[in-house]
Structure 1
Amino acid sequence: MENLGDAYSRRRFEGRDPRRVFAGATLGGLGALAVVLGLLVVTTPVGGWLGASDLRAAEKLAGTLGGLGIPAMFLGVVAVLPSSRRENVGVVVGAALCLVGVGLFQVAYPERWTTGAETLAFETSMAYFLGTCLAFWFVFTAMASFRTRNNPQGMVRLELTRQGTKRTVTVSREEYQRYAEAIRSDGGETERIIRELESRAELGESERGDD
């Protein structure tokens, strides 16, 4: 039987692949860094250091960095949070639309931005706006569902696995803290806690069966 200490250590990721969590955090951090760097390009001499010596080149570089950084942050957030496939697909589609907007910006700015016979400012802005709204909506739903799962009227859900069978038991935050403290201290209480949680899980299953 799996010990509760292993289950507790994995609970931090709630069934998610730790590599995905770390990759998402890294991607989100890089996205935030790109946005900050984009602001610095147009407000400090950083643009010149990156080869954008004139104002138009600096603005184009800043727009590109910011345009790539925002969807990267959205992707990072949804990768870190426990999200559904629908939310993952929604954020990916939104990020893809943002990339279309960035690509159009590369073609349009500055010659075909707002002047000339065939301007692309509107198409670029709409593609990026729609992509941002779509990605933000699914990130928002992922965050909302995450908070609901982790705070159902002050309760915490624990998942127990034994011989390939998974059981879920709901405990109060005070009970969860007591269990976690017992696991960390390893004072010989682990087996008793495991039996207690298993009995509660079996009782909950029997009650649902009666209903």
Structure 2
Amino acid sequence: MSAEQSPDGYLFDVYRRYIGEPEDRTDIYAGFSLFLGGIGLGIISLVLFLWSTNYAARSDAYFTWTEPAYALVMVALPILMLGIVVLLPSERRVQYASIAGVAVTVVAVGGFLYAYPTDWNGYGADYTAEVIAVYAVGLAALTASTGAALIAHYLDMAREAQRIEPTDDAESESYTDEEIQSDIDAAMEDVELSWGGVQKTEHKRLSFSENEFDEVDVDSVGTKTTRSSGVDAQVAGLKGLKGGDTKTTTSSATVDDQTQKLKELREQQRAEELATDDSSGLVAAVTGRLASLRNRLGRN
């Protein structure tokens, strides 16, 4: 048994493919047996008729082979049609009508065997018309029941298709938040963006403006140096504290010295910028240097 075949067997797979879901296992076995049996009888009758052509017409050997060939083909067609009715999910009364039609055709076949060949087709009493009439009645009943079963089956299929068809044609598809996020992640997988939507570039350069520290006014920053010498200077200082003499302070550092120190600080800051790729740490270091410088200038 193949991997795709159902446990019920090949016949049930064929039934589900061309007809639908089976309702009764007995009907399936009986229906396929009758259908395939009718085909088999038709093939056998054809072989017997072809074999009868080897003999002279209307000879005893000829009738020996043609009589069963005609009888079998007359039975094969009703049995095949009955198998179709049994296989289709039709009502029981339709099946009973089909069985009745098959019974009438079997009676006609019996009449044929009685009349052929001595009372058949212009010979003897010639019961040809009577036998064909009975056979036609049975075949007509069988044809009507088969047609009713086919129409009922197609109507059932149409109702089933209408039942499962969605009633709201304008129904839109809905997506969950997880599906939407998954689609966004898949679309952005190959896109490299930094903050602000600017495409990321692979390099480690940091640049600052040449006038980064131009706002620092070094001219306004001065240092005060207080010098005292001996007891006289100390006495003068005490007098100044008492409100007497005013203490005079002078600065030994010049503007050129301060400017040189600031230039050295800028060069050191640029060297640190080239040595690291962390912009935030670099800015913090420069800010710390400036704060330290200002504190030093303030202390001096």
Task: Map residues 128-207 of structure 1 onto 2, 5 A cutoff.
Answer: 128-152=135-159, 155=161, 170-172=163-165
Q: Say what the alpha-carbon RMSD is for the aligned residues.
A: 2.9
The Cα of 1:47 is off from its aligned counterpart by 9.3
Name the structure with the higher helix share. 1
- 2:77 aligned with 1:70: yes
Structure 2: tracts of 5 or more residues without a match? 1-11, 167-300
- 2:109 aligned with 1:102: yes
Q: Which has the higher contact order (CA 8 A, sep 6+)?
A: 1
Structure 1: tracts of 5 or more residues without a match? 1-8, 157-169, 174-211
- What is the SS of the residue equivalent to 2:110? helix
Q: What is the CA–CA distance in structure 2 between the aligned matches of 1:45 and 1:124, rounded to whole Å?
A: 23
Q: Would you say how many aligned residue pairs link Structure 1 and Structure 2?
A: 148
- What is the SS of the residue equivalent to 1:54? helix
- Whether the 8 Å CA contact 1:64–1:102 is kept in 2: the answer is yes
Q: TM-score, normalised by structure 2?
A: 0.44
- Whether the 8 Å CA contact 2:119–2:127 is kept in 1: the answer is yes
Moved over 3 A (4+): 11-15, 44-48
Name the structure with the higher strand share. 1
Q: TM-score, normalised by structure 1?
A: 0.62
- 2:19 aligned with 1:28: no
Distance 1:47 1:172, change over 3 A: farther
Distance 1:45 1:110, change over 3 A: closer
Over the matched positions of the two proteins, sequence identity in percent amounts to 23
- What is the SS of the residue equivalent to 2:117? coil
The Cα of 1:86 is off from its aligned counterpart by 2.2
Match of residue 62, structure 2, among 55, 65, 70: 55
